[in-house]
Amino acid sequence: MAATATDQADEEAGRTGVLLVNLGTPDAPTPAAVRRYLAEFLSDRRVVEIPRIVWWPILHGIILNTRPRKSAHAYQQVWRPDGSPLAAITSAQAKALQTRLGGDVRVSWAMRYGNPAIVKALERLKDQGCTRILFAPLYPQYSGATTQSAIDALGDALQAMRAPPAIRTLPTYHDNPAFIEALRADTARQLAGLDFTPQVLLLSFHGLPQRTVQRGDPYHDQCLMTARLLTEALAAQFPDLRVEASFQSRFGRAKWIEPYTDAVLAAEARGGTKRLAIAAPGFSADCLETLEELAIRGREQFLGAGGEQFAALECLNDGVAGMAMLEALVRREIAGWE
């Protein structure tokens, strides 16, 4: 069958692509693979805002010689048959979004650190005929260490291209009604499915050094806004549930934003809370920080301090509520392209 004028126009105009981006993961739960990953991650000036002359000896002389083995052990506890949880879930999100958007849009995924690299994913979308690409970092709350770092990597990739595609970037969505509704629906579903009624729901966000916030990073305020909106959204269905917010994953000796998740878990148990659920609304997909730090170590911290029942809720992942939200955000941003 001969091509029509419309077909030819579509081919000349090119396709729209969507690139989902998350933080990163080692290729294997081994000390060597973790070392490669940490070397890339902790060399990012957006992640560690310490002068290189001070940071470099610490990173290469101490951290990369001691931390990989410990982190590899943590990864081994959560590694899946299909690989890293973060990579496997992000891949599943891309596949689910592709189904929702249909064949006129090409959806791919990448990691800021590790594989698949952003530059390779962009090249793959270009090879598929994408002349317009929505770059979508899956961080609900903005931070220079996450969202902006991913955009930095995007800029580096585009700079190396002879004929780069047109680019749009997905804005952060910490207070977007579609995001809050997805959190409400999925959190309510999981709470209703527990075999106990929690007294407290702890919303744990990834932490940042306090000095980062003092320099103007809006992350802390955006996390608290997400927590407030989700608390309000859950109130009608769970009027007796107390919701608190905390920050996890602090690293080094510097002061990080508080309260610290591990300290809150212990304090709640010592203060008489017997039943607690924990959720991580700053993470779009389950990863080491949610599956090991919260679900395993968090449980130990809470029960060890006197708590009796503990549940770690899943992230939105590729579930129905999360994918409906992601589809809505993406369709809004590619409007006019399709």
Tens of pLDDT along 218-272?
999 999 999 999 999 999 999 999 999 999 999 888 899 999 999 999 999 999 9
* CA angle, residues 134, 287, 183, in degrees to nearest 5: 65
Best CATH choice for the domain 8-166+323-334 from the list 1.10.760.10, 1.10.10.10, 3.90.1150.10, 3.40.50.1400: 3.40.50.1400
Q: What are phi and psi of 3, to 5 degrees?
A: -70, 140
Please report the pLDDT score of residue 6 as a whole number.
Answer: 41
Q: Start-end ranges of CATH 3.40.50.1400 in the chain?
A: 8-166+323-334, 177-312
Strand order in the sheet with 242-248: 242-248, 200-206, 275-279, 309-312
Structure tokens at 81: 């048959």
> Taking Cα atoms as reference points, which of 269, 273, 271, 289 lies closest to residue 281?
289
Domain 177-312 annotated CATH 3.40.366.10: no
Please report the pLDDT score of residue 10 as a whole number.
Answer: 46
Q: What is the separation of C-alpha 101 from the centre of its chain, rounded to a whole number of angstroms? A: 22
Please report the pLDDT score of residue 315 as a whole number.
Answer: 98
Please report the pLDDT score of residue 14 as a whole number.
Answer: 85
- State yes or no: pLDDT of 1 exceeds 70: no
pTM, entire model: 0.94
Band of residue 13 on the pLDDT scale cut at 50, 70, 90: low
- State yes or no: pLDDT of 308 exceeds 80: yes
Terminal Cα-to-Cα distance of the chain (whole angstroms)? 25
